């Protein structure tokens, strides 16, 4: 358990945060930087995150400070675990709720047994096409910049690996799936691909990242808890060890 007296943000610290819904990963990094500088009187400090989480997703984000930012790539390479809520029978251009529904499909033929059988087919190495509404770099710009202007760009398939896929609940047309996957996996693309494999359509309606390698969401700071934490550091007169 982290203790205020043992923290040294400037030398380098690895912090776990629960990213709020609708915040970008950069929003959270910026907020944490401001909180550290303001509370502890540190003029300048490096702060970065180890793996983007979409604004419409919440959950675990690893944030590194100081010299620990050199470890960011190490964390990005770790497998991720997500809890995904997927709406069957509906599709959107972004594969999630960022855009309006553009297609409706039958779901009456879909049973729990069918879903479980199809999920098994996704296990292992897969080719996946990233969403056009994503932060993927294309010719120096983010893919979503082209998509929002109606400019069509071909997205290149990437290789991802699904380690575990578990159907947690089925309350049709919504299902909840636990996913353990490699870096670079787009859960939105998985939701879209799953819908097609089920002979229907699907989009992601909610997403929580619950772990990154051995790091768990249950051990993460909320912003309120982090504010209390660094306030204790301030009271003991400590900006660094």
Residues that are catalytic: 54
Which residue from 84, 121, 116, 120 is spatially nearest to 209, judged by alpha carbons?
84
Main-chain phi, psi angles of 135, to 5 degrees: -90, 10
Task: State how far the alpha carbon of 22 is from the alpha carbons of 26, 47, 59, 135, 215, in Å.
Answer: 12, 20, 11, 15, 22
Strand blocks (E) in the chain: 12-19, 47-49, 57-66, 80-88, 90-91, 103-104, 124-128, 137-138, 141-142, 158-171, 174-181, 202-212, 215-216
Helix 187-197 to helix 112-122 angle (10° resolution) is 120
């Amino acid at each position: 358990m982290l203790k205020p007296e043992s923290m040294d943000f400037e030398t380098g610290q690895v912090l776990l945060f629960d990213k709020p819904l609708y915040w970008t990963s950069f929003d959270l990094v910026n907020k944490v930087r401001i909180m550290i500088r303001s509370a502890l009187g540190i003029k300048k400090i490096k702060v970065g995150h180890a793996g983007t989480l979409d604004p419409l997703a919440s959950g675990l984000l690893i944030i590194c400070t100081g010299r620990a930012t050199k470890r960011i790539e190490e964390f990005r390479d770790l497998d991720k675990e997500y809890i995904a809520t997927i709406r069957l029978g509906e599709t959107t251009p972004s594969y999630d709720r960022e855009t309006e529904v553009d297609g409706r499909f039958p779901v009456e033929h879909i049973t729990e047994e069918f879903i479980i059988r199809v999920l098994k087919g996704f296990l292992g190495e897969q080719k996946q096409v990233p969403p056009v509404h994503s932060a993927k770099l294309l010719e120096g710009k983010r893919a979503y910049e082209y998509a929002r202007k109606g400019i069509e760009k071909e997205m290149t398939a990437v290789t991802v690996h699904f380690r575990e896929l578990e159907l947690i609940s089925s309350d049709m047309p919504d299902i909840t799936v636990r996913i353990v996957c490699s870096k670079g996996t787009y859960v939105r693309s998985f939701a879209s691909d799953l819908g097609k494999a089920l002979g229907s359509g699907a989009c992601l309606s909610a997403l929580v990242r619950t772990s990154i390698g051995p790091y768990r969401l249950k051990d993460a700071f909320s912003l309120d808890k982090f504010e209390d934490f660094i306030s204790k550091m301030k009271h003991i007169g400590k900006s660094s060890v």
